[in-house]
Structure 1
Amino acid sequence: MARQQSKIKELVYIGIYTAIYFLVVCISTGVLKLTVPIFNSIMIPALNALLAGVIYLTVLDRVPRFGALTTIGIVMGIFFLITGHFPIAFVPELIFSLLADWLQHGTRGGKTKIYLSYTIFSFGLTGPILPLWFMKQAYINELVSRGKDQAYINHVFAAVTNVSFVISMGSIVVCSILGMWIAQKIYDKHLAGLRGTRS
């Protein structure tokens, strides 16, 4: 009975922190759309990585076993699938969350492992933007099939260059590291009573 109650509690935690993570994604998206006119969508994963570190640490401590990170990735992937994103936008979310989950719970290591797994996890949000560079024509065809005009398409691809790809991907790495560093400072100061897999 105690074991079953523990599993139910973990499922509740996963649900709560998945919802909070989704809210942070929405906040990141909204902030960029309001402040950055062109470059916004390809910077969403980086800004989210900067903001979501505390949520990541909380998930690791509350549910210290394989599956929680993957579940968050699955939920985000389903969201991408049902909200009109490019058809395979959900694939990176599933792959990167699963890889982060395996790295965090299937390998040995300390804080370095947390930084690495969080960085990998943060790349899950690249699903909607990677096709802009690697499947451009298919992406354009998808937009046309949805009735988008040439002006809209030009706006979507205005910032899609080799340079912007390097900036977008590089910023995810930098913001993941910085975001996790900030998160650990906050966590150690205010939430030190929650301990799980972080040692």
Structure 2
Amino acid sequence: MKKLKVQDLIAVGVYTAIYFLTISICLLVLRFVVPGFHNLFIPAVSALFSGVIYRLVLQRVPRMGAITIMGSVVALFFLMTGHFPLAIVPGILCSFLADVIQYKTHLPKKVRTVTSYIVFSYGLMGPLLPLWFMKNAYVASLKARGKDQVYIQTVFEHVSTQIFLASMVAVLVGAILGYYLGSYLYTKHFQHNRR
């Protein structure tokens, strides 16, 4: 694999900004459609609508490292905006694993890309996982940021094992559907512009 060049990094930056904008729009819509559950299902809905961005990155910047950079930058933004510190880990780890699957494995092309996108999509679970697995530390971090008990109760109102399993399955379904939706949009609107 060739190394990333300056123009590749610029392109990844542009696609990362579009990816982040997509996440933000999905969050805004979910906030009105399913209030109280919007944060819990943002990874799945984002995966559904970000497939075309992923396809564009793979086609326009076919280099090991591009996926890792995109996912890591979003994870760093979560950290900078006050999310639980360990929320960054799944974002970076899943992005790197997606990169490895895409460029270092010998799976059939479609299987490889679908799998890498599924793994990449689970990176957005980073801010949510501490709700289930590090509750006390998460509560402590919220209190340290000046959040009151009412706010904390609201955050954990819908957190349960069933919702966790539903969120994980939803990401899988969203990523698979997102891949095919993204492939359709890419073929219809972008393929003729390939470099």
- The bucket for the TM-score relative to the shorter chain is over 0.9
| CA deviation after TM superposition for structure 1 residue 195, in Å | 5.6
| Equivalent residue number for residue 168 of structure 1 | 167
| Equivalent residue number for residue 138 of structure 1 | 137
| CA deviation after TM superposition for structure 1 residue 74, in Å | 1.7
Return the TM-score normalized by structure 1: 0.92
Identical aligned residues as a percent: 48
| Equivalent residue number for residue 190 of structure 2 | 191
Secondary structure of 2:85 counterpart? coil
Give the distance between the partners of 1:86 and 1:10, measured in 2 at CA: 31
Give the distance between the partners of 2:86 and 2:37, measured in 1 at CA: 22
Which amino acid letter does the alignment assign opposite residue 8 of structure 2? E
| CA deviation after TM superposition for structure 1 residue 193, in Å | 2.5
Question: Structure 1: where are the runs of 5+ without partners?
Answer: none
Give the distance between the partners of 2:161 and 2:118, measured in 1 at CA: 21
Q: What does 1:95-106 correspond to in 2, within 5 Å?
A: 95-106=93-104
Question: Structure 2: where are the runs of 5+ without partners?
Answer: none
Length, aligned pairs only: 193
Return the TM-score normalized by structure 2: 0.94
Moved more, 89-98 or 29-38: 29-38
Instruction: Give the root-mean-square deviation of aligned CA atoms.
Output: 1.7
Q: What does 1:91-170 correspond to in 2, within 5 Å?
A: 91-108=89-106, 109-170=108-169
Give the distance between the partners of 2:137 and 2:56, measured in 1 at CA: 39
* The one of 41, 55, 58 aligned to 1:57: 55
Which amino acid letter does the alignment assign opposite residue 75 of structure 1? V
Which amino acid letter does the alignment assign opposite residue 107 of structure 1? T
Residues 181 and 95 (structure 1), Cα distance of their counterparts in 2 relative to 1, 3 Å cut: same
| CA deviation after TM superposition for structure 1 residue 194, in Å | 5.2
Secondary structure of 2:7 counterpart? helix
